[in-house]
Amino acid sequence: MTKTLRRCITAVLVLFPLCALAQTYDFHAWINSPEAYFTTNAERDEWKKSVITQTDADRFIAEYWSKHGEQFKKDLHARIERADQMFSLADVPGAKTPKGRVWIMLGSPSREQTDERGSTVVQGFDPRPIGQNNSVERGAIQTQRWIYKHDRLPKEIAIPELVVSFQTDTGRGNQVIDNLGVVEPFLRKVAEYYGSRAATTVAAAAPAPTATMAVAAVVPQAEDPLWKAAEDLGGAFFDADSYISAKEKPFYAVNFYLPQAAKAFADVKSVLLVGLVKDASGKQVAAVREPAPLKNYGSSSDRYIDHSFQLPPGKYSGAFALFTPEGTTLLANRHADFTVPAPTETTVSQLLPSAQVESFEKQLELDPFTFVATKYAVKGDHHFSAKDKISFFTVVSNPAGDQNPQLTMGVKILRDGKVLHRLPPEPASLTQTGPHTFLVGPAFDPGTFEPGQYSIEVQLKDLNAPKEADGSIKSYNARADFKVD
């Protein structure tokens, strides 16, 4: 092999990866990417007129970074990375969502307002034997308003207040700015403001980055550090389980319960809820980073927050956490391995306690722990007052003969490990929550229990199911421990 030939082969081996990388760069999309959020109207016009080839795009992008300076570039990339962590929605990177764009350009709002209800409904099936109608949400739609006071806006173009109203359809992974006619002109002013300021503060001799920098925004990010964070609930309690929605969509619901004694949350009124989910292959398939207020639990000083993740049937691992609103401090973190069953599988969810049952005019389809427009807020610490009405609930999916299921329910109450009461099996009172799902569970009036440590065991027998090999009736058992003061 000659020296010249060796040199040519080396050149091919070195240059090929760079060519392959360049081919993955869609230069047409750059002007609408997060890197271009601060382009001015004049720059956007220039792009339309002058950028025809990738070479034109590389030149434009290099000049753009040169004009704004290296620090601007670093700050913008840091914001893009942070927005991807905070605002991802289904398959959309966080920086490309409307929330991500507003946050990158304006920063965090002065305050937030969230309305979790109020979307359109469709008539559902008959949930009860008597024939009452049920309304089921067409989609899990959330309205959230970010309110920016004048001190959070660039002072040279500040207005008394800017309200940005987001509509998020979590079921479809879609998000829009509801009042775009008000918000978009102000965002363009922000881009003009920072663009003109950059032109006067950056030295003309600033070195231009290479053309390959244009692909920085599409390089895959490293694994979220939350996956490796040590579990620490910080005094909170965590519950979760899989359910089937009224429209037969499987989902996983999680609940953080924060008793008054949880000191980490003493001065916290809202949190950044983070949920990451990987499938059995280790691929991350869901990521939620949603600012949300903590909800009061009844008349106590305890609070809670819950969320749902729509997922196809399969086995998963999840990392679920609560951060301070700005996302800088981890307050509670729990990892969980779980299975989401198919809508056709016969399953029984775990027995969960509640002392706060609320009825609504309508419900979101994926509203966690809500069945037939009734919310069963999970009492995560399993700690009740003797004055509470104590409820336990479980959901049976696809019982035998589910067009006319026949289930009996027997209940055993233990106190300090000893049997206190046995309630013999009786026909279970079922509430139909979907075409093939049924809510069931006992409830106890205030004053039923004296102070003490209790356990409840519920046995459901499916009279329509084929008998087991030993001739016994197929049954499902669930248990929960609780304390009463």
* Mean predicted confidence (pLDDT) in 375-392: 95
Q: What is the pTM of this model?
A: 0.59
Amino acid in the structure at residue 168: T
* Mean predicted confidence (pLDDT) in 203-207: 39
Q: What is the pLDDT of residues 265-323, one digit of tens each?
A: 988 999 999 999 999 999 999 988 888 899 999 888 999 999 999 999 999 999 999 99
3.40.50.720, 3.40.190.10, 1.25.40.80, 2.60.40.2550: CATH of 224-343: 2.60.40.2550
Sign of CA dihedral 311, 317, 321, 325: negative
Residue 111 has a pLDDT of 81
Q: SS3 of 14, please?
A: helix
Please report which confidence band the pLDDT of residue 25 belongs to, taking 50, 70 and 90 as the band edges. Answer: low
Give the C-alpha separation, 292 to 104, whole Å.
19
Location of structure tokens 């037969």: 248
Please report which confidence band the pLDDT of residue 454 belongs to, taking 50, 70 and 90 as the band edges. Answer: very high
User: Tokens in use for 161?
Assistant: 């207040």
* Least confident interval from 109-113, 305-309, 347-351, 428-432: 109-113
Residue 142 has a pLDDT of 82
**H or E element in which residue 456 lies:** strand 452-462
Task: Domain 346-485: give its CATH code.
Answer: 2.60.40.10
* Least confident interval from 276-280, 472-476, 481-485: 472-476
397, pLDDT greater than 50? yes
Q: Taking all residues of the chain, what is their mean pLDDT, rounded to a whole number? A: 83
Give the C-alpha separation, 306 to 309, whole Å.
10
Residue 39 has a pLDDT of 93
- Give one DSSP letter per residue of 170-224, joined into a string: TTTTEEEETTHHHHHHHHHHHHHHHHHHHHHHS-TTPPPPPGGGGGGGGSPPPPP
Please report which confidence band the pLDDT of residue 21 belongs to, taking 50, 70 and 90 as the band edges. Answer: very low
| Per-domain boundaries in the chain | 20-218, 224-343, 346-485
Q: What is the pLDDT of residues 73-130, one digit of tens each?
A: 888 998 898 888 888 887 889 999 999 999 999 988 888 787 654 433 322 222 333 2
Please report which confidence band the pLDDT of residue 481 belongs to, taking 50, 70 and 90 as the band edges. Answer: very high
Contacts of residue 441, Cβ cutoff 8 Å, sequence gap at least 6: 351, 391, 392, 393, 394, 458
Give the C-alpha separation, 270 to 273, whole Å.
9
Q: SS3 of 393, please?
A: strand
Q: Which DSSP state fits 232?
A: B
Helix pair 70-87, 54-68: axis angle to 10 deg: 100
Domain pair 224-343 / 346-485, same fold: yes
> What number of CA atoms fall less than 13 Å from residue 319's CA on the CB side?
19
